[in-house]
Structure 1
């Protein structure tokens, strides 16, 4: 989902996020290689924050509340 949200952000704004460094998610090694940059960018933009203090859980399903929060953050960023 992080990759789709970041691509939607790019499509609407045309602005790439300045990726400094992905937070130290304990499970960062389980993020698919093709999604690492999008996850880092979405995190840098404040679109996603992971679960808990230090987990991203990339192989888990996103629940309805999490989806709503992510979409709300995306719309806020786009409409600034």
Structure 2
């Protein structure tokens, strides 16, 4: 979801986000390498905030509410 939302943001704004800061999630090491950059960018943009206790839960399933929040942030 992080990769898709960042790509959608870049398409919508016409801006390529060149660098992302290191994401601050406690489970950063569990995020697949191919998605780490997008997670950092999404967090930097305020589109992704993770779950409680500073966890991203990369292997978890996003709830409908979490998905709606991410999409709503993109549309603002």
Aligned match of 1:42: 42
The 5 A counterparts of 1:40-79 are: 40-76=40-76
Question: Which shifted more, 67-76 or 7-16?
Answer: 7-16
Aligned match of 1:20: 21
- The structural deviation recorded for 1:5 is 0.4
The separation in 1 between residues aligned to 2:71 and 2:63, in whole angstroms, is: 12
Structure 2: unaligned runs, 5 residues or longer: none
Q: SS of 2:56's equivalent?
A: coil
Moved over 3 A (4+): none
Say if 2:16 is the partner of 1:9: no
- Tell me the TM-score normalized by structure 2: 0.90
Over the residues paired in the alignment, what is the CA RMSD in angstroms? 1.2
Q: SS of 2:52's equivalent?
A: coil
More helix per residue:
2
- The structural deviation recorded for 1:64 is 0.5
Structure 1: unaligned runs, 5 residues or longer: none
- The structural deviation recorded for 1:20 is 2.6
- Tell me the TM-score normalized by structure 1: 0.86
Corresponding residue pairs, total:
75
